[in-house]
A and B are shown apart, each in its own frame.
Chain A
């Protein structure tokens, strides 16, 4: 039980992990994450990697949409830009992986800033539709700019190599993903202790008032697009190196929708929410599929009825969370945490 709130310095006030207990549990989590690949099977390693890559993408989207309030339906396209950049740099220019990674981020950020450019004139719904158009245009470019992107065949890359270690299976790749997730999540969390992060939140809440306070809207909106797309680019680079192939069919509009679903279900405006949402939207569809698969084994004739239910459940999850728990899983987590903080008292 945690009684009282004694802060003696500004630093401790701003701290993310306020007391020894939470730092202890963080340490335990870290140890578990390190042990996980040694005990988990192939399938779970694969899912873990997928979830990790999704976390980075979701954090990026949350920065733009959850914290800065700019709705984006083009996130998958930016991930695609990062992915293609990584593939092209690796195959065409033979750059080492550690160089491809940040370059993919910067390339995606560059595109993000271009798409975000008109955002000063456009607000809310109009911006959302503009990002939709950007998504579709980039999809077109992925397919048709064959000389660069390899067209519909895409590009095959070989396993990434870091300091002589070749990451050619899910086990080894897991550690890369883990490190990248920790870096990205820490960076994002720290972003919102800085001026830039606070400016984003101000813009989301009331952009005209933010402008009155001296925040240059254009500049900070572009930062938001740029930073968010940088994360997307990193996620894309990891994705391509994980699957060892990239084709235009990896980045459809549905993927952008999936990322939006992640941050909504997880909790907008919360880094922890991005993590929860990404894990949830990666693991839960698989679980539903497994359960439905079991049901089909019992009732084989219901196959055509049960299998398409997955799509319905996906939609119901989104709608359900929006109606009943608009602040997402993060909010549920905070409630549980507070319960334990105050236990055995009620309030």
Chain B
């Protein structure tokens, strides 16, 4: 009696398992992701993950690609290199996604050789690093917007176009963090500044979240820059620096690159936020007149009704999702199978693509980055655009 029960159960289970295996046929396009949902980058990772997931969900609602839906498979990698690599390999082995998303510049660099030789997947990430967008070395890797170097370029060009004081060259200071994130665009920025005739009068480096930045403020006082560009920070110590500069009676226009351009930062700055500027690849959630933003609003209302605001890191995730979807659609239109190799070949073919106002009209023909961003200025606690989409493709 007992034996037959066991046998029946075994049979039943094996039937169950085998049917489970059969149903996952070719009608999904798999996107794998290692997201930094915990750890140092979690403040952004959570939102990037949400943005990517929603973007793919939105694409599915629009019909996917010829009826095939996108499947988003993610793992938390905690901004830990070893875990991220392990997760990458695990996802590749288990699910064979055709496109992957990674949590940092480090993972991209570590996996690049194997992506080129073995995995052949299109790879996007949180990183805007110059090194990764080099098509000759990393044809499979793209950047969801302008690289940090290009962002710096946008700001420096903006500064160069401002009227000069007493016909003297503009004085700019770089204020960056002691990390890869902070240092990535600096060599390029130094060269470009020289080319544009801008004087880099000071470079301040701190650890993220430094407590006392008096010595850096004094150095700024000593060198009297007109502009100061932040790189490698999200919030701290930016409020400290801005308030400190005011305390010391310095008249500096502060600017930031993408991660330092969140509305949250303006909230923390309070009244000191007025006049803070910077470059961001994306439009903001509150820009109701932007078509893609409207689509986001509609999607969020339907699926996450209690969410009121999405920060710029969400935009990064969403835009990356859009790029994945675009590549898949282009493959389908060209009559090719949706494989990593074919998708990768589509990247350079993206030209003059209207992103619905999220990143302007972009092309990946010159490099695996869009090179497009806008300069924004803080007014009354929000960022408003003070330029149109600027394209900076090296």
Direct contact of A and B (CB under 8 A): yes
Instruction: Decide if B246 is an interface residue (CB 8 Å cutoff).
Output: no
Instruction: Decide if B189 is an interface residue (CB 8 Å cutoff).
Output: no
Give the nearest-CB partner of B49 in chain A. Answer: A303
Give the nearest-CB partner of B131 in chain A. Answer: A153
Q: B42: which A residues are within 8 A, CB to CB?
A: 308
Instruction: Decide if B10 is an interface residue (CB 8 Å cutoff).
Output: no
Residues 1-53 of B at the A interface (beta carbon under 8 Å)? 37-38, 42, 46
Q: Mark A151-177, 1 if CB is under 8 A from B, else 0.
A: 111101011000000001110000000
Is the Cβ of A42 less than 8 Å from the Cβ of B92? yes
CB distance from B125 to the nearest CB of A (A): 15
Is the Cβ of B83 less than 8 Å from the Cβ of A285? yes
Is the Cβ of A46 less than 8 Å from the Cβ of B78? no
Q: A156: which B residues are within 8 A, CB to CB?
A: 109
Instruction: Decide if A210 is an interface residue (CB 8 Å cutoff).
Output: no
**Which of A50, A310, A311: most chain B Cβ within 10 A?**
A310
Given A153-B131, A285-B83, A293-B75, A244 contacting B38 (CB threshold 8 A): no
Q: B106: which A residues are within 8 A, CB to CB?
A: 247, 249
Residues 92-135 of B at the A interface (beta carbon under 8 Å)? 92-94, 106, 109-110, 113-114, 117-118, 131
In whole angstroms, what is the CA distance A305 to B83 when docked?
A: 19
In whole angstroms, what is the CA distance A285 to B113 when docked?
A: 26
Q: B131: which A residues are within 8 A, CB to CB?
A: 153
In whole angstroms, what is the CA distance A159 to B112 when docked?
A: 13
Instruction: Decide if A147 is an interface residue (CB 8 Å cutoff).
Output: no
Instruction: Decide if B180 is an interface residue (CB 8 Å cutoff).
Output: yes
Instruction: Decide if A47 is an interface residue (CB 8 Å cutoff).
Output: yes
Given A47-B86, A244-B110, A249-B106, A289 contacting B75 (CB threshold 8 A): yes
CB distance from B88 to the nearest CB of A (A): 9
Is the Cβ of B86 less than 8 Å from the Cβ of A46? yes
Q: Mark A245-286, 1 if CB is under 8 A from B, else 0.
A: 101011000000000000000000000000000000000011
Instruction: Decide if B90 is an interface residue (CB 8 Å cutoff).
Output: yes
Is the Cβ of B85 less than 8 Å from the Cβ of A243? yes
In whole angstroms, what is the CA distance A243 to B113 when docked?
A: 10
Residues 163-220 of A at the B interface (beta carbon under 8 Å)? 168-170
Given A289-B76, A307-B78, A50 contacting B86 (CB threshold 8 A): yes
Instruction: Decide if B178 is an interface residue (CB 8 Å cutoff).
Output: yes
Partner of B89, one of A42, A143, A153, A289: A42
Residues 9-23 of A at the B interface (beta carbon under 8 Å)? none
Is the Cβ of B86 less than 8 Å from the Cβ of A286? yes
Instruction: Decide if A94 is an interface residue (CB 8 Å cutoff).
Output: no
Is the Cβ of B180 less than 8 Å from the Cβ of A304? no
Give the nearest-CB partner of B113 in chain A. Answer: A244
Is the Cβ of A310 less than 8 Å from the Cβ of B38? yes
Give the nearest-CB partner of B92 in chain A. Answer: A42
Q: B81: which A residues are within 8 A, CB to CB?
A: 243, 249-250
In whole angstroms, what is the CA distance A134 to B179 when docked?
A: 20
Is the Cβ of B109 less than 8 Å from the Cβ of A41? no
Q: A46: which B residues are within 8 A, CB to CB?
A: 85-86, 89
CB distance from A79 to the nearest CB of B (A): 13
In whole angstroms, what is the CA distance A303 to B45 when docked?
A: 12
Instruction: Decide if A43 is an interface residue (CB 8 Å cutoff).
Output: yes
In whole angstroms, what is the CA distance A308 to B117 when docked?
A: 34
Partner of B93, one of A43, A143, A169, A244: A43
Give the nearest-CB partner of B104 in chain A. Answer: A249
Give the nearest-CB partner of A309 in chain B. Answer: B38
Given A42-B89, A50-B82, A243-B110, A152 contacting B180 (CB threshold 8 A): yes
Is the Cβ of A307 less than 8 Å from the Cβ of B110? no
Q: B82: which A residues are within 8 A, CB to CB?
A: 50
Q: A50: which B residues are within 8 A, CB to CB?
A: 82, 86
Q: B83: which A residues are within 8 A, CB to CB?
A: 285-286, 289
Q: A296: which B residues are within 8 A, CB to CB?
A: 76
In whole angstroms, what is the CA distance A203 to B123 when docked?
A: 53
Instruction: Decide if B224 is an interface residue (CB 8 Å cutoff).
Output: no
Q: B38: which A residues are within 8 A, CB to CB?
A: 307-308, 310-311
Is the Cβ of A307 less than 8 Å from the Cβ of B76? yes
Instruction: Decide if B183 is an interface residue (CB 8 Å cutoff).
Output: yes
Is the Cβ of A43 less than 8 Å from the Cβ of B37? no
Q: A158: which B residues are within 8 A, CB to CB?
A: 113
Is the Cβ of B37 less than 8 Å from the Cβ of A249? no
CB distance from B233 to the nearest CB of A (A): 15
Pairs across A and B, CB under 8 Å, 17 listed: A41-B93, A42-B90, A42-B92, A43-B93, A46-B85, A46-B89, A50-B82, A152-B179, A153-B180, A168-B117, A169-B118, A285-B83, A286-B86, A289-B83, A292-B76, A293-B75, A304-B46
Given contacts A43-B89, A158-B113, A249-B81, 17 further A-B contacts (CB under 8 A): A46-B86, A152-B183, A152-B184, A153-B131, A159-B113, A244-B110, A247-B180, A249-B179, A249-B180, A286-B86, A289-B75, A292-B76, A293-B76, A296-B76, A304-B46, A307-B38, A307-B78
